[in-house]
């Protein structure tokens, strides 16, 4: 890993833990706005033009038995990667990071969008740590310090961090960081003004480990024509869901369609995939048990997918260790 990438990864504390989440499949105590009870105030800093928003309750994840298993398996590598950063900044992501929120737009190029880490940070120590590895380009925007990291031998600058406060750090490209700062300063409308996403955000339970909400209609409208299954899901208007990882994988996804007939067709497609999994499960006992934990229901124009199965089944799937069924 080159110096720029190392600094970028180390400075944005949540990248490590977010990477853990991605590898597995992806409580704030700070003041929150009344319209989003229990969620960190940083959610409201995301731009109104966002098409999708994601949140991670880091404390709940780190305190879970799933993370304990991960740390047992990869603890030495995690400690080695973080040791220098923790020693020089006094910040340990596993202890000091509480929440991560992110948003993006379907029309943006790859890599665009903003991620905000909420926690307890020492920005002066983090800045000093950065300077031991790379010389960032400082941009002061609306009384907020932004540090951009040179790319490609210093010829380009793509990503950076913005110190919103001692408890909030944003990661992203400069344009996205400026948008977050604009919202935070009151100069631009935030995601709570988004007529599609705001109602879903207000309905979220902050106790959930991971959650997401998306303006599916806009996202699908901007998807390439050859994207798989676009025809089958083209009627979807919104989608939201939650995932909790404990000793079991527990997830709930709700998709709303244009009308009840469209929802019925969407539910039939989802049930078809489950049926295909059941056929495969006829020859593998563990896969069969996993498929039993998936259900699809329809309520008017809403289709709900519920997943609930032991986590060790997911581990077996990842390792390819499913047991074949015995034939008497």
Whether residue 56 is found in the same domain as residue 119: yes
Q: Is residue 76 part of a domain?
A: yes
Whether residue 18 is found in the same domain as residue 143: yes
Q: Is residue 203 part of a domain?
A: no
Please check whether residue 21 is in contact with residue 165, taking contact to mean a CB–CB distance below 8 angstroms. Answer: no
Which domain, by its residues, includes 144? 1-188
- 83 φ/ψ angles, rounded to the nearest 5 degrees: -55, -50
Whether residue 250 is found in the same domain as residue 145: no
In 3D, which of 210, 211, 266 has the Cα closest to residue 237? 266
Whether residue 142 is found in the same domain as residue 48: yes
Whether residue 160 is found in the same domain as residue 233: no
Whether residue 174 is found in the same domain as residue 229: no
Q: How many domains does the chain have?
A: 2
Q: Is residue 234 part of a domain?
A: yes
Whether residue 231 is found in the same domain as residue 179: no
Instruction: Provide the whole-model pTM.
Output: 0.80
- 309 φ/ψ angles, rounded to the nearest 5 degrees: -155, 160
Q: Is residue 193 part of a domain?
A: no
Please check whether residue 55 is in contact with residue 101, taking contact to mean a CB–CB distance below 8 angstroms. Answer: yes
Q: Is residue 123 part of a domain?
A: yes
End position of a domain, from candidates 188, 205, 236 = 188
Whether residue 170 is found in the same domain as residue 49: yes
Beta partners for 307? 251, 294
Q: Give kind and range of the element (H or E) at residue 165.
A: strand 156-165
Strand 294-299, strand 97-104: pairing: unpaired
Along the 328 residues of the chain, how does pLDDT read in single tens digits? Answer: 444 444 444 443 333 333 333 333 332 222 333 345 578 899 999 999 999 999 999 999 989 888 888 778 776 666 676 777 888 888 888 888 999 999 988 876 566 789 999 999 888 888 888 888 888 899 999 999 999 988 766 667 778 999 999 899 999 999 999 999 999 999 999 999 999 999 999 888 878 999 999 998 888 877 666 655 556 678 899 999 999 988 888 999 999 999 999 999 999 988 888 887 777 666 677 667 777 888 999 999 999 999 998 887 766 666 655 555 554 4
């Amino acid at each position: 890993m080159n110096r720029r990438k190392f600094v970028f990864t180390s400075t944005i504390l949540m990248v490590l833990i977010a990477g853990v989440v991605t590898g597995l499949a992806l409580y704030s105590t700070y003041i929150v706005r009344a319209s989003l009870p229990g969620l960190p105030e940083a959610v409201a800093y995301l731009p109104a033009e966002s098409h999708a928003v994601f949140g991670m309750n880091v404390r709940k994840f780190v305190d879970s038995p799933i993370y304990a298993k991960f740390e047992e398996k990869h603890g030495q590598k995690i400690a080695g990667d973080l040791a220098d950063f923790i020693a020089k900044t006094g910040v340990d992501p596993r202890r000091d990071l509480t929440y991560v929120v992110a948003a993006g737009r379907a029309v943006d190029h790859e890599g665009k969008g903003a991620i905000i880490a909420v926690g307890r940070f020492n920005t002066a120590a983090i800045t000093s740590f950065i300077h031991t590895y790379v010389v960032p380009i400082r941009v002061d925007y609306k009384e907020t310090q932004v540090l951009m990291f040179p790319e490609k031998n210093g010829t380009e600058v793509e990503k950076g961090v913005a110190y919103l406060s001692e408890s909030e750090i944003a990661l992203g490209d400069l344009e996205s960081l400026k948008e977050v700062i604009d919202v935070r300063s009151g100069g631009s409308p935030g995601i709570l003004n988004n007529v599609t996403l705001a109602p879903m955000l207000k309905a979220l339970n902050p106790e959930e480990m991971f959650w997401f909400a998306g303006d599916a209609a806009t996202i699908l409208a901007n998807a390439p024509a050859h994207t798989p299954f676009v025809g089958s899901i083209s009627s979807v208007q919104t989608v939201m869901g939650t995932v909790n990882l404990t000793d079991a994988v527990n997830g709930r996804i709700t998709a709303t369609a244009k009308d009840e007939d469209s929802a019925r067709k969407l539910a039939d497609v989802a049930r078809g995939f489950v049926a295909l999994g059941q056929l495969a499960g006829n020859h593998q006992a563990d896969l069969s048990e996993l498929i039993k934990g998936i259900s699809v229901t329809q309520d008017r124009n809403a289709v709900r997918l519920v997943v609930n199965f032991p986590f060790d089944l997911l581990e077996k799937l990842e390792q390819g260790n499913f047991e074949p069924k015995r034939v008497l």
